[in-house]
A and B are shown apart, each in its own frame.
Chain A
Amino acid sequence: MGLYRERGIVLRTIKLGEADRIVTLVTEGHGKLRAVAKGVRRTKSRFGARVEPLSHVALLCYEGRSLDTITQADALEHFRAVREDLGRLSRGLCLLEVVDSVVQEGDDDPRLYQMLLGALRALSAGEVPLLVPAFFWKLLAQQGFRPSLDACATCGAAGAEALEAFDPGEGGVLCRSCRRGTRITPDAVALLRRILGGDLVGVLAEGASPAGAELEHLATRAIEHHLERRLRAPGLLDPVLSLRREGATAPARGRGS
């Protein structure tokens, strides 16, 4: 049985039996990993609170036949600023959900860990309006879905100005005559080119913009297209959006008393 040390960010945990949890993490050396944390649901467990989603932990694990076991966990970062703010928590959980659903178990690309850690640190440090769209597109690119941005994905017509639509099924942006899917503005194409083309730092320093919102929407559509299901986290913690889903209205009324 091999014993090994790892660092990772907890994506999700599910209950196993009476006291254990199966923990899914993105780790430095093993990529996306599932492991059993024994006894963590007992109140006297030393590391129960450390293996919660959003925690950055140092682990001691040993290899098992089907799943590895976590024997020790020490907290490296809690991202408290993310946990204690509804908006940031909502965005942080979106990142976790997307990594959990898009990345296959056993994908050991070390960039995944670096990307997620960097994103959570940025979210923790302050408001980064374009973080979620930039992260989504970077992740799609890491997964091999890098949309063509310089020429129409269908007919190959070049000229960035003429590109008008985005279709995840076609793998990129489309020209006027081939257009289908969702409309995309020249500003959004330019922003996406910067995100994927080496100016990520510059993009993350910028304020919120319509192009950013557009790219977040398109990335969500692209991810959902690949997953063949809707993402769950976006909007779920938004008091207005979440209860409107079933047609009810949020309580806008004031209380007279």
Chain B
Amino acid sequence: MYAGPVQDLIDELGRLPGVGPKSAQRIAFHLLKLPKEEAVRLARAVIEMKERVALCARCFNVAEGQECGICTDPRREHRVLCVVEEPRDVVAVEKTHEFRGRYHVLQGAISPIEGIGPDQLKVRELLARLEPEQISEVILCTNPNIEGEATAMYLARLLAPLGLRVTRIASGLPVGGDLEYADELTLGRALEGRREVGA
């Protein structure tokens, strides 16, 4: 245990994802040694972000203001929704430049073993968008792990009676990855989703 303010900071840092007590201590002492203006810059960045950035009221992506830049962009195709788990997945899909529709960020994935159900995610909010926005296609772009697959199958079942097109991204091999390093499940699915090559 350390003197008041240092221990307070260690406790706060220790609450961050992926930061254990040892790392929290290391970061705290690093900040202690930092010139004051650098530490203040970090503190300001946190405050600034919390004051200016929130979740988009429509898609739950990060947004400056009421709605995010994608939702307010008139050039985006508005009848196609790409459903992702986290805002960072929006960034990943945007980098492909392949998708011109809009997003819906679930803020997580269903995990029955951890007790995370559709109620804790933005599933109701997704359903509420479909009719007013006249959504015709939903692309399920959740992670290719068990929680992501469970979430995609759940949503596919939930959306099935609503008469819109529901697709799931193909789970293939990572480009630049080594076939030898691919796990068997991914490899099996990639083989299943193979295309004709040549004419």
Contact = CB atoms under 8 A, between A and B. Distances in A.
B184 A78 contact: yes
Given A17-B20, A83-B146, A93 B112 contact: yes
Contacts, number: 107
A11 B111 CA distance: 12
A253 B159 CA distance: 11
Interface in A26-41: none
Contacts of B127: 251
Contact of B157 (A94, A239, A252): A239
A80 to B, nearest CB: 7
Interface in B103-133: 110, 112-115, 117-119, 123-124, 127, 130-131
Contacts of A86: 150, 153-154, 156-157
B185 A75 contact: yes
B181 A232 contact: no
Contacts of A54: 146
Nearest to B182: A49
A252 B163 CA distance: 11
B104 to A, nearest CB: 15
Interface string B151-165: 001101110011110
Contacts of B174: 43
A257 to B, nearest CB: 7
Interface residues of A, number: 47
A252 B183 contact: no
A83 B158 CA distance: 17
Nearest to A24: B113
User: Chain B's interface: helix, strand, loop or mixed, by majority?
Assistant: helix
A248 B123 CA distance: 12
A254 B162 contact: yes
B86 interface: no
A108 interface: no
Contacts of A65: none
A228 interface: no
B113 A80 contact: no
A141 interface: no
B183 A47 contact: yes
Contact of B145 (A16, A43, A52, A96): A52
B17 interface: yes
B124 to A, nearest CB: 6
Contact of A97 (B20, B23, B112, B146): B112
Contacts of A243: 118-119, 123-124
A243 B181 CA distance: 39
Interface in A60-80: 75, 78, 80
B112 A232 contact: yes
Nearest to A11: B113
A250 interface: yes
A243 B115 CA distance: 14
Given A49-B145, A89-B153, A254-B163, A233 B188 contact: no
Contacts of B114: 12, 232
A5 interface: no
B134 interface: yes
A12 B18 contact: no
B175 to A, nearest CB: 12
B178 to A, nearest CB: 9
B48 to A, nearest CB: 25
B186 interface: yes
B113 A93 contact: yes
B113 A250 contact: no
6 contacts: A15-B18, A17-B23, A46-B181, A48-B183, A90-B112, A254-B163
Interface of B: 17-18, 20, 23, 110, 112-115, 117-119, 123-124, 127, 130-131, 134, 144-146, 149-150, 153-154, 156-158, 161-164, 174, 177, 181, 183-186, 188
Given A53-B146, A90-B112, 5 more contacts: A12-B114, A16-B20, A49-B145, A93-B113, A232-B117
